């Protein structure tokens, strides 16, 4: 059973069908040579396991991550969606990364992404962050122009509030939102609710936050309180014969039908663990305990 068949599918933008359990490529190193070869192997194994949604971005190595995925997977299987993000750039003066939503920068990054991914059209392009120094209408307007030019098929946003999502939807059709969200971190519940109401795909990044104990500065586990998320998640995992990470991903899949988790890893073992989460079934009593963590 593949990730797609076990977790079900979702139609992004109403027409682009992908498996609900995806893969975030951010952690894949593009070098040196031995690390790059391992990254290529992980990306290929993800597709072998049935993953049909892979997330990358210009920020990840200044496009090096996009080139890595093309090396690993091109020519792409027909069912595979590689989504990328633009809107974060490195300063030529300081070398520091920062938000940059100027239309000319967005257009340039899209052109680079097309070349690096070896495609004529990006099926799903997401604005990595809204640049507060540039009017929102200018940013999404530039993306809409790229869509009208045929370089982009569907548009998404990342790390937005419910209000920002509503304003953007007045200007463009929003097909996806990528916000930080997990069983242990539900700051963006209102955004998820808005996506669910509108049928917008919600791609949580850091989807397993809270599944394992945090470490303090010295590297020792933090004991936390008696209801620390990882304690509850760990107890459920033991009852199911699963891992805490698998329980965290299974909760996301059960929490809302518009949720498409994109866990990332650079290790084959962790990848297979993540994909196997699609087969974990949470009983109502488990869901009740995990849902209660929001309080």
- Are the C-beta atoms of 124 and 157 separated by less than 8 Å? no
Q: What's the pLDDT at 92?
A: 85
Q: What's the pLDDT at 213?
A: 80
**CATH 3.40.50.300 applies to domain 3-294:** no
23 pairs with which residues across the strands? Answer: 54
Burial classification of residue 285, based on how many CB atoms lie within 10 Å of its CB (0-12 exposed, 13-18 middle, 19 or more buried): exposed
The question of whether 230 is a catalytic residue gets the answer: no
Catalytic option among 60, 74, 181, 230:
60
Paired tokens of 292: 């209660």
Place of tokens 């977790």: 7
**For the chain, domain boundaries:** 3-294
DSSP 66-86: HHHHHHHHPSPPTT-EEEEEE
Q: What's the pLDDT at 3?
A: 66
Please, what's the largest Cα pairwise distance for the chain? 55
* Distance from C-alpha of 201 to C-alpha of 212, rounded to nearest angstrom: 26
Whether cis (ω within 30° of 0) applies to the bond prior to 38 is no
Question: Could you tell me which of 256, 103, 109 has the C-alpha nearest to residue 191?
Answer: 256
Q: What's the pLDDT at 217?
A: 40
Q: What's the pLDDT at 216?
A: 47
177 pairs with which residues across the strands? Answer: 157, 202
* Distance from C-alpha of 102 to C-alpha of 116, rounded to nearest angstrom: 21
**Three-state SS across 91-152?**
CCCCCCEEECCCHHHHHHHHHHHHHHHCCCCECCEEECCCCCCCCHHHHHHHHHHHHHCCCE
- From first to last of its 295 residues, the chain has per-residue pLDDT tens of 566 667 899 999 999 999 999 999 999 999 999 999 999 999 999 999 999 999 999 999 999 999 999 999 999 999 999 999 999 999 988 999 999 999 999 999 999 999 999 999 999 999 999 999 999 999 999 999 999 999 999 999 999 999 999 999 999 999 999 999 999 999 999 999 999 999 999 999 999 998 988 764 445 555 555 458 899 999 999 999 999 999 999 999 999 999 999 999 999 999 999 999 999 999 999 999 999 998 6
- Are the C-beta atoms of 26 and 56 separated by less than 8 Å? yes
CA 36 → CA 27, 39, 69, 146, 246, distances in Å?
11, 5, 10, 31, 27
pTM: 0.94
Length of the chain: 295
What is the DSSP code (8-state) at residue 90? E
């Amino acid at each position: 059973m593949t990730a797609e068949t076990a977790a079900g599918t979702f139609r992004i933008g109403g027409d682009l069908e992908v498996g609900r359990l995806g893969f975030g490529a951010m952690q894949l190193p593009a070098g040196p040579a031995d690390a790059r070869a391992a990254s290529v192997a992980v990306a290929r194994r993800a597709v072998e396991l049935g993953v049909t949604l892979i997330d990358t971005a210009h920020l990840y190595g200044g496009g090096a991550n996009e080139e890595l995925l093309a090396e690993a997977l091109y020519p792409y299987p027909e069912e595979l969606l590689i989504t990328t993000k633009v809107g974060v750039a490195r300063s030529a003066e300081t070398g520091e990364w920062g938000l940059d939503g100027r239309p000319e920068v967005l257009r340039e990054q899209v052109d680079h992404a097309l070349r690096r991914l070896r495609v004529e059209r990006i099926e799903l392009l997401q604005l990595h962050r809204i640049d507060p120094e540039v009017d929102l209408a200018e940013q999404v307007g530039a993306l809409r122009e790229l869509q009208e030019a045929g370089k982009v098929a569907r548009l998404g946003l990342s790390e937005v509030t419910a209000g920002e999502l509503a304003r953007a939807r007045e200007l463009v059709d929003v097909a996806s939102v990528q916000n930080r969200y997990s069983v242990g971190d539900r700051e963006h519940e209102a955004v998820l609710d808005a996506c669910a109401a509108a049928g917008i795909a919600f791609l949580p990044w850091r989807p397993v936050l809270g599944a394992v104990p945090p470490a303090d500065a010295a590297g020792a586990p933090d004991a936390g309180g008696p209801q620390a998320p990882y304690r509850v998640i760990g107890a459920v995992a033991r009852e199911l014969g699963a891992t805490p990470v698998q329980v965290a991903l299974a909760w996301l899949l059960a929490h809302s039908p518009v949720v498409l988790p994109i866990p990332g890893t650079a290790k084959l073992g962790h990848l297979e663990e993540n994909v196997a989460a699609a087969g974990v079934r949470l009983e109502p009593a488990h869901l009740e305990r995990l849902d209660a963590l929001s309080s």
